[in-house]
Amino acid sequence: MTVSSDDDLDALVTDFLAGDERALEKIYRRFSALVFTVALRSLGDATEAEDVVQKVFVAAWTGRHTYKPERASLSAWLMGITRNKVADTHQSRTKQRRIQNEVGANISAPPDTLDIADRLIIADEISRLDAVPQRVLKLAFYEDLTHAQIAERLQLPPGTVKSHIRRSLIKLRRRLEVAANAQQP
């Protein structure tokens, strides 16, 4: 099973909430790269990023009853947990450094995980769109073409282009939904 359509993901969430271990595995397969990359980009350390991934999926499983699908998309919820675990890691690093009294320790503020996460979610979701809607959206995003120009370029009816744009944007929005409010289990 590939978890690509919204329906697949909804079914997966249902199984996950019901305590199906296979659903957790599928969720891991679908989202572990996203979690790992966000952690890696923020922490800059693969070992620590791996630890974060482990903590996130363990927390997601043990705290699954706190996930409310109507309030946040699964990716947003996982990103919320990821941000917390990444912040914990930054914090313990800071403590570690204080303990070691490391000279010249450069305790910089953690990079903005929120925007990195959003961009990664969107980049990932764009890559998961079907071929034609994906092309349409990329032309709109990155070439700044109008829907009429896209219709001409791809030789599609303008109405089709418009509905691809609408459907894709709504799909992407669902992925970002309430990412900021996602709670830590």
Partner 1 sequence: MHSNPDLLALLALGEPVGTPEDHRHLAGCDTCRAELTALQEVVGVGRRTTIQDVLVSPPPQLWQRISHELSLHPSIDGTGPSANAAGPTLLTYELPDPTTARSGIASAAAADPAAEPRDGTGDGPGGDDPPTPADRTAPAPSSRSIRVASLVLAAALALAVGIGLGGNLDRLVPGTRETASVELNALPPWPGASGKAVLEQDRDGNRWLVVDIVSPEAPSGPREVWLSNTRAEPMMAMGFLRSDGSGRFPVPPEMDLASYPLVDVSQEPKDDESPGHSGNSMLRGKFPV
Judged by CB under 8 A, which of 13, 16, 30, 80 binds partner 1? 30
Residue whose entry in the numeric block shows the structure tokens 């709109």: 140
As given in the structure block, the two tokens for residue 48 are 């620590």
Give, for 139, the enclosing helix (H) or strand (E).
Answer: helix 131-142
Under the binding rule (CB under 8 A), the answer on residue 155 touching partner 1 is yes
Does 17 bind partner 1 (CB under 8 A)? Our answer is: no
Q: Among residues 65, 70, 144, 157, which is the contact residue for partner 1, using CB under 8 A?
A: 144
Rg (CA), the chain: 19
> Least distance in Å: CB of 98 to partner 1?
29
User: CA 175: distance to chain centroid?
Assistant: 7
Around Cβ 104, how many Cβ atoms within 10 Å?
A: 4
Does 127 interact with partner 1 (rule: CB under 8 A)? yes
Site string for partner 1, 93-112 (x = CB under 8 A): --------------------
Beta carbon of residue 167, minimum distance to partner 1 (angstroms, whole number): 9
46 touches partner 1 by CB under 8 A: yes
33 binds partner 1 per the rule CB under 8 A = yes
Whether the CB-CB separation of 114 and 68 falls below 8 Å is answered with no
Asked if 163 interacts with partner 1 (CB under 8 A), we say yes
3-state SS class at 108: coil
Nearest by Cα to 36 from 15, 17, 55: 55
Q: Which of 60, 14, 15 is nearest to 34 (CA)?
A: 60
Q: Which residues lie closer than 8 Å to 30 by C-beta, 6 or more apart? A: 3, 9, 12
Please, what is the minimum distance in Å from the beta carbon of residue 159 to partner 1?
Answer: 8
Residues that bind partner 1 (CB under 8 A): 1-4, 21-22, 24-30, 32-37, 40, 46, 49-50, 53-54, 57-58, 61-62, 115-116, 118-120, 122-124, 126-132, 134-135, 137-144, 146-147, 153-156, 162-163, 165-166, 169-170, 172-173, 176
